[in-house]
Structure 1
Amino acid sequence: MKHSIKSALICLCVAVSSNALAKSSISDDKFRQLEENLPTPNTYRTASGAPGHQYWQQAVDYKIDITLDDEKQTLSGSETIDYTNNSPDTLRYLWLQLDQNKLADNAGAKTTRTAPSKKITYSGLRNAIETDEFQGGYDITKVTGSNGKALSYVINGTMMRIDLPKALKTGKSVELNINWNYQLHEQKVLGGRSGYEYFKEDDNYLYEIASWFPRAAAYYDVMGWQNKQFIGSGEFTLEFGDYDVSITVPADHVVAATGVLQNPKDVLTKTQRDRLTKAKKADKPVLIITPEEALENEKSRATTTKTWEFEAKNVRDFAFASSRKFIWDAQGYKGGKTDTMAMSYYPNEGNPLWEKYSTESIIHTMEQYNKYTFAYPYPVSISVNGPVGGMEYPMITFNGPRPTLDKETGEKTYSRRTKYGLIGVIIHEVGHNYFPMIVNSDERQWTWMDEGLNTFLQFVAEQAWEEGYPSRRGDAANITSYMKSDNQVPIMTNSESILQFGNNAYGKPATALNILRETVMGRELFDFAFKEYAQRWKFKRPTPADFFRTMEDASGVDLDWFWRGWFYTTDHVDIALGNIHLYRPNSQNPDTEEAWERALDNEKPDFISKVRNKDQWVRTDDKPELLDFYNEHDKFTATNAARNKYNKSNAKLEQWQKDLLVDERNFYIVDFENKGGLVMPIILELTYADNTTERVTLPAEIWRRNSKIVSKLLVREKELTGIAIDPNWETADVDVSNNYWPARPIKSRFDLYKRKKDDMMRDYNVELKSANDKEEKNKEEKEEVEQQ
């Protein structure tokens, strides 16, 4: 880049390269409207992004009895499904999800799994071997209608189609009865979102059970049946309904589950019930089961069972956890329309971390998310520590981080990373109760609609936890490496086809929303629009178009360029600072202008020959008579003719025009180049000669006529001494080295080390061998040529 001074002000507007503009086409138009990519609005989904007046969704209620066998690690159950068809369509069959079939023989998740690299961890190789050997999946033993007669069904991978004896018309319901069983797996070996953890030290199990019953697949206006196979990444697209669930476990187990416990007198002691009553109004967590009591429970081995009965209203799923190892604490939380019980279940292995942070993190999440969405509506919110690293279900979440046991000292400690990892994962998973457990997006199709939106709010909530909270995702600078990598696919990619899941579905959309809030729209407009989206679509199923349209509708900001660039392409942000020109008005006064030209000429360096010829003899040294009036007046001296012409022209001007000719302000034209392809606002920090600074934001629309090169006129009283693009690194610019004038060095450091003697000899031997090999090869090639 360069900084040049020009004598004439040639333009008072944004300068656009005509050549570049001529080469552009409609495909290069970053600001063309997004309607070509979005579905046509209709009576179900409006052009404003709101549900239409004929919006509908199915209703599915469940009554389930399940038994957990702690000796064989199996589940066996029966369920009654009451399916109501609220669609305008007649249905001849219903699709159910059998997600545990992901672990069955010849499952797509197994057959499509690619080979590991040559370098693999012990646990990775173990997982690959045992996944193939594990005999998992559902054993469906009965499928009948309300009359007890068997129904015809077909199992296709992770989906089951049940053929109805009579077509289900609009407004009608049908009853299904299904019995099943399946083998649970060790989660830390086979992975996944469910399973058990075995504690060898005390011979105990901790179960986190999810996706455990045949569940109705979603049927809705945009997709019809969402019966895409579950390969492992695309999560669960489900319908809302009421659940009545009975869970039979060993009598010494404690169960945490979606919903409200209906028979506390049958499964809890009076002391535990009294503690729960106290916890409801407590200002800090109350222990329902103490660490000492949990240690005693670990030693027991019940020979009888208890049945825990739970009821949950208007939820889209149901999960539970069970173990005799659980410590249990609880605290009531009331805020606005939220009145709930925050509860944590964890083994002694989770302390001292869990007793301090888990329940507090649950309450913090609800406080923060309520501000930006809606009041948490459910009666409980639970965090469970077990084998699953982080997973969400209505009213209950599974969260993994624990302290580390020092085997030498016997003490448990935790690192900074573990502490913030626990707080962060609880905020994230509890946050999922808002997205997608209530704002019920299609996870099987669009992971970003729940993970991305939730990760954005997670960042906001984390920053409200403490100053300087070390959030992993949300900060624009944290996504730049991914943005410039070759492993990108657009955010608008189906869940099973994403290459880097964390960056694509979590980090990039969360960062995009942060930039939208802080830089593009501003907090006031963004927060109102985002809350409007959450309010419109709670307990309903939105699509990407509904989100995009609502954000624009509620804010009055055209964001099609933003959605296109950030969500539909793999372009990145790289705005470079180009040439900087300093202009001044041409006063047309020959005395003024010629003096100015003389000053500019004097600033030019002398050509090297002139420098070396200085003080050498020249002819006029001996013959001064060769000098004339041109030697007395340089080429910049104004002539009378020029003065007369100026006086005549100036007399015809109006006063405001004369004022412009002598305007002494600085007219800077700054060039910008969009190297990354992603148009964004240009944020400038201007530094002046008096060391003051000014912040200037040029909206993204500055690129609307040319998305590659633009120029901007800056008229300033003071002299500019520095310009910085994106001084706070808020736009995810992948290369900040071209963001400054004057240019700044990129700071880093050398990692120095002391070479060992044997390393030096090894390097010497390698070099010697390489030289000998090269010499031998050259000799062979020479002999081969000679033979030819």
Structure 2
Amino acid sequence: MIKRLYFTALTTACLFVFASLGAQEKSLYNYTEAFATDFYKSNGTLYRSASGKPGPSYWQNSASYSIKVKLDDKINRITGSVTTTYINNSPEDLDFIWLQLDQNLFNNDSRGQATIPLQDSRYGNSKNTFDGGYTIRNVRADSQSDVTYSISDTRMRLNLPTPLKANGGKVSFSMDFEFTVPEYGADRTGILNTSNGNIYAVAQWYPRVCVFDDILGWNTHPYTGPGEFYLEFGDYDVEITAPANHIVVMGGELLNPEEVFTKEQLDRYHQAKSSNKTVLIRSESEITKASSRPNKNELTWKYMLKNAHDVAWASSTAFILDGAKINLPSGKSALALSAYPKESNGGNAWERSTEYTKASIEHYSKKWYEYPYPVAVNVASNVGGMEYPAISFCGHKAKAANLWGVTDHEFGHNWFPMIVGSNERLHGWMDEGFNTFINDISTEVFNKGEYHIKYGQRNSMTPVLFNSNLEAVMNTPQNMKERNIGILLYYKPAFALHLLRNEIIGKDRFDAAFKKYIEVWAYKHPAPEDFFRLIENETGENLNWFWRGMFQYNWQMDQAVTDVRYMESDPSKGAIVSVDNLGKLPMPVEIEAITESGKKITVKLPVEIWERNTRWTFKIPSTEKLTTVKLDPRNVFPDINPENNTWNTK
């Protein structure tokens, strides 16, 4: 390790200018703003500790669901009922409960439809003529039928007959609901037509309770497409009735496999549970054979999932089904399943889906936190990529690196936000960005780097990620241009975490802190400040300047070599270098000097040099003339203007 050199004063009388780097650029940097101590706007509370952990009196409510539905594949309609058991662990009584009605996005007069631009959008409908949304009937609470409710766009307010008591009060309410599945539902749910029948990817399909928390109370932000979900944890008992020639998969434990599979399929299903290699449960050649399904008109598939905040499912006559065992660090196991049509089979495509699913979940379980669910189901659909607990919908045309990438990403979401339940509706970067970060590490190691791309320069995306026209990362997804969502929710936060891990904190300390964040917030609801505080407390670093510039604001970094001289005009006595911080975002300094003989000398300086300076001058311990002095020689920092990073001898 090269010693870090600090100088507080230099005697300019004994120095002679060796080279001038031209006219000085005006600095935008304000060190009192960058390192201000007012980043956190509130102190820790009994609910959320200043250490970034849940406080000693942290609480959250819970919602468990018993759902029975039927799929009519003739008219693409789902009808059923849901009974919800809600527990109020908050310190206040509740007079009403808010629910999310996400299918109402597909009403032609919804707010979401009104805000979709004329150009192509991920969040629109495939057909302007489709008019979806819920029909809701027979709303009851604690078996009382005189319950009043009101529906406003994608939200429903249920007025309780009597207040729900604080600190453990419980209420059960039920309703009947039905809706038509949209062909293309905002790239989260939909219907894919194949040669052997439709594939129904069914999500956001039942009325779900909004979160009541200590930050905003009821979180009732309308669902307009870009922002995803914020839901309470609970248990799910689900019965799905479908035509008998369908196979129905859900992110949960199948309770009655002997009733819904043929004997041969049942044997293969059990074989897959103990096999490290993919086992075909229903092959392509069997799809068109009536004998590959039980000889009945319809079947009811019974599923259970515990301690989750959502469920989704898929159903089709067209499914090839295969599976394999997922090995978990504790010695437990789960079952990886893939369901896909013949059009997705072959050519390094979906026949490897189960391999990818298994590898992804095994990696994240070992590296970060053990996977909690009994299955992990990957479904080929017309949804490009969407995650729900224990099940993912991925594009049916994906193959090779694209299929690995989307599979790994969607199953990575089981950690963010399925286990660590952040508010995606407001803070999409806390799931997409964190997930993209762990995806990068997973891809490096999968199958000895089969799909890992080694980029020549890690900061090559700087002009895109730090474009001055971008919104800040901490804006809500609804408050960003749709074209910027990929940058601001996915790539920039992931870049920031890599920068913290590799260059500012160090891998060992960062990984330990990141694991601690997952551990203490598993099955809870962290906010941005909780994450920021925890990383600082666990690593011992003051990172206010980093959060402020990279997340709260869209600041740019611009360091420049502004002066190079020799000590007393004698190259044998070392060189004096000045670096200016021209941008608003401070960063550590790494500089490489190359001597006439080709020797390379590297000096690293911490970000603290910028706590009270806009220029920093330091000594390079050289003993001969220099030919080049270069900032950021490894190209790891997001310098927006690399043109002023290098000095060359004249």
State TM-score, norm by structure 2: 0.91
* Preserved CA contact (<8 Å) 2:106 2:125: no
Matching residue of 1:680: 587
* Preserved CA contact (<8 Å) 1:473 1:511: no
- What's the CA shift string for 1:123-175, capped at 9, x where partnerless? x4999786543211111122112224131001011010000010001211011
Following the alignment from structure 1 to structure 2, what is the Cα–Cα distance between the partners of residues 272 and 247?
19
Matching residue of 1:78: 81
Following the alignment from structure 1 to structure 2, what is the Cα–Cα distance between the partners of residues 423 and 67?
33
The alpha-carbon deviation at position 670 of structure 1 amounts to 1.4
Matching residue of 2:560: 576
Deviates more, 1:263-272 or 1:450-459: 263-272
Aligned residue for 1:51, secondary structure, equals: coil
Match of 1:441 among 402, 422, 427: 422
Following the alignment from structure 1 to structure 2, what is the Cα–Cα distance between the partners of residues 322 and 41?
47
Aligned residue for 1:281, secondary structure, equals: coil
- What's the CA shift string for 1:593-632, capped at 9, x where partnerless? xxx9xxxxxxxxxxxxxxxxxxxxxxxxxxxxxxxxxxxx
Aligned residue for 1:435, secondary structure, equals: helix
Following the alignment from structure 1 to structure 2, what is the Cα–Cα distance between the partners of residues 141 and 29?
56
The alpha-carbon deviation at position 698 of structure 1 amounts to 1.3
Matching residue of 1:149: 145
Q: 1:665 to 1:399 in 2, by over 3 A?
A: same
* Preserved CA contact (<8 Å) 2:16 2:566: no
- What's the CA shift string for 1:435-481, capped at 9, x where partnerless? 00010001111000000100100111111124484569997435312
Match of 2:462 among 477, 480, 489: 480
- What's the CA shift string for 1:62-83, capped at 9, x where partnerless? 0000111100001111010010
The alpha-carbon deviation at position 420 of structure 1 amounts to 1.2
Matching residue of 2:522: 538
Following the alignment from structure 1 to structure 2, what is the Cα–Cα distance between the partners of residues 424 and 20?
43
The alpha-carbon deviation at position 6 of structure 1 amounts to 7.9
Match of 1:691 among 598, 606, 609: 598
Q: 1:36 to 1:211 in 2, by over 3 A?
A: same
Q: 2:590 is matched by which residue type in structure 1?
A: I
Match of 1:348 among 321, 342, 346: 342
- What's the CA shift string for 1:15-61, capped at 9, x where partnerless? xxxx999x9867x531122x444432100110100111111111111
**2:236 aligned with 1:239, yes or no?**
no
Q: 2:180 is matched by which residue type in structure 1?
A: Q
* Structure (1 or 2) with the greater strand fraction: 2
Matching residue of 1:108: 111
- What's the CA shift string for 1:688-745, capped at 9, x where partnerless? 2332223322111111112x4332222333443222222222112233232222299x
Following the alignment from structure 1 to structure 2, what is the Cα–Cα distance between the partners of residues 64 and 297?
29
The alpha-carbon deviation at position 669 of structure 1 amounts to 1.9
* Preserved CA contact (<8 Å) 1:142 1:150: no
Following the alignment from structure 1 to structure 2, what is the Cα–Cα distance between the partners of residues 743 and 448?
44
Q: 1:24 to 1:444 in 2, by over 3 A?
A: closer
Matching residue of 1:761: none
Following the alignment from structure 2 to structure 1, what is the Cα–Cα distance between the partners of residues 379 and 34?
46
**2:175 aligned with 1:175, yes or no?**
no
The alpha-carbon deviation at position 379 of structure 1 amounts to 1.2
Following the alignment from structure 1 to structure 2, what is the Cα–Cα distance between the partners of residues 182 and 737?
58
Matching residue of 2:382: 387
Following the alignment from structure 2 to structure 1, what is the Cα–Cα distance between the partners of residues 125 and 521?
43
Match of 1:314 among 307, 310, 314: 307
**2:30 aligned with 1:48, yes or no?**
no
Following the alignment from structure 1 to structure 2, what is the Cα–Cα distance between the partners of residues 10 and 389?
62
Match of 2:622 among 709, 716, 738: 716
Q: 2:176 is matched by which residue type in structure 1?
A: N
Following the alignment from structure 2 to structure 1, what is the Cα–Cα distance between the partners of residues 470 and 121?
27
Aligned residue for 1:133, secondary structure, equals: coil
Aligned residue for 1:165, secondary structure, equals: strand
Q: 1:543 to 1:135 in 2, by over 3 A?
A: same
Q: 1:182 is matched by which residue type in structure 2?
A: F
* Preserved CA contact (<8 Å) 1:38 1:545: no
Q: 1:488 is matched by which residue type in structure 2?
A: L
* Structure (1 or 2) with the greater helix fraction: 1
Q: 1:734 is matched by which residue type in structure 2?
A: I
* Preserved CA contact (<8 Å) 1:473 1:507: no
Following the alignment from structure 1 to structure 2, what is the Cα–Cα distance between the partners of residues 471 and 126?
27
Aligned residue for 1:56, secondary structure, equals: coil
Matching residue of 1:773: none
| Alpha-carbon RMSD | 2.8
Aligned residue for 2:418, secondary structure, equals: coil
* Preserved CA contact (<8 Å) 1:297 1:325: no
Aligned residue for 1:584, secondary structure, equals: helix
The alpha-carbon deviation at position 7 of structure 1 amounts to 7.2
Deviates more, 1:688-697 or 1:429-438: 688-697
Aligned residue for 1:461, secondary structure, equals: helix
The alpha-carbon deviation at position 675 of structure 1 amounts to 3.1
Matches within 5 A, 1:458-477: 458-465=439-446, 466-467=448-449, 469-470=451-452, 476-477=458-459
Q: 1:433 is matched by which residue type in structure 2?
A: N
Following the alignment from structure 1 to structure 2, what is the Cα–Cα distance between the partners of residues 195 and 430?
19
- What's the CA shift string for 1:758-785, capped at 9, x where partnerless? xxxxxxxxxxxxxxxxxxxxxxxxxxxx
Aligned residue for 1:716, secondary structure, equals: coil
Matches within 5 A, 1:588-627: none
Aligned residue for 1:310, secondary structure, equals: strand
Q: 1:96 is matched by which residue type in structure 2?
A: L
Following the alignment from structure 1 to structure 2, what is the Cα–Cα distance between the partners of residues 481 and 24?
19
State TM-score, norm by structure 1: 0.75
- What's the CA shift string for 1:296-331, capped at 9, x where partnerless? 369999871100000111010000011011111111
Q: 1:455 to 1:472 in 2, by over 3 A?
A: farther
Matching residue of 1:336: 329
Following the alignment from structure 1 to structure 2, what is the Cα–Cα distance between the partners of residues 175 and 310?
21
Q: 1:434 to 1:687 in 2, by over 3 A?
A: same
* Preserved CA contact (<8 Å) 2:138 2:145: no
**2:134 aligned with 1:138, yes or no?**
yes
**2:574 aligned with 1:667, yes or no?**
yes
Matches within 5 A, 1:251-400: 251-296=244-289, 304-337=297-330, 338-352=332-346, 353-400=348-395
* Preserved CA contact (<8 Å) 2:465 2:488: no
The alpha-carbon deviation at position 335 of structure 1 amounts to 2.8
Q: 1:301 to 1:74 in 2, by over 3 A?
A: farther
* Preserved CA contact (<8 Å) 1:298 1:324: no
The alpha-carbon deviation at position 258 of structure 1 amounts to 1.5
The alpha-carbon deviation at position 515 of structure 1 amounts to 0.5
Match of 2:158 among 136, 158, 162: 162
Q: 1:76 to 1:39 in 2, by over 3 A?
A: farther
* Preserved CA contact (<8 Å) 1:298 1:325: no
* Preserved CA contact (<8 Å) 2:98 2:155: yes
- What's the CA shift string for 1:279-300, capped at 9, x where partnerless? 2221211111112112436999
- What's the CA shift string for 1:631-686, capped at 9, x where partnerless? xxxxxxxxxxxxxxxxxxxxxxxxxxxxxxxxx84332212223332111112222
Matching residue of 1:549: 533
Q: 1:152 is matched by which residue type in structure 2?
A: T
Matches within 5 A, 1:752-771: none
Match of 1:90 among 80, 90, 93: 93
Following the alignment from structure 1 to structure 2, what is the Cα–Cα distance between the partners of residues 81 and 478?
50
Q: 1:703 to 1:295 in 2, by over 3 A?
A: farther
Unpaired segments ≥5 residues, structure 2: 1-10, 18-24
Aligned residue for 2:490, secondary structure, equals: helix
Following the alignment from structure 1 to structure 2, what is the Cα–Cα distance between the partners of residues 304 and 237?
38
Match of 1:489 among 453, 471, 489: 471
Unpaired segments ≥5 residues, structure 1: 12-18, 117-123, 404-417, 586-595, 597-663, 745-788
The alpha-carbon deviation at position 9 of structure 1 amounts to 4.8
Matches within 5 A, 1:170-249: 170=166, 171-187=168-184, 191-199=186-194, 201-202=195-196, 204-249=197-242
Following the alignment from structure 2 to structure 1, what is the Cα–Cα distance between the partners of residues 130 and 436?
34
Q: 1:743 to 1:509 in 2, by over 3 A?
A: farther
Aligned residue for 1:434, secondary structure, equals: helix
Q: Count how many residue pairs are aligned between Structure 1 and Structure 2.
A: 627
Q: 1:498 to 1:126 in 2, by over 3 A?
A: closer
Q: 2:67 is matched by which residue type in structure 1?
A: I
Percent of matched pairs sharing the same residue? 36
* Preserved CA contact (<8 Å) 1:206 1:325: yes
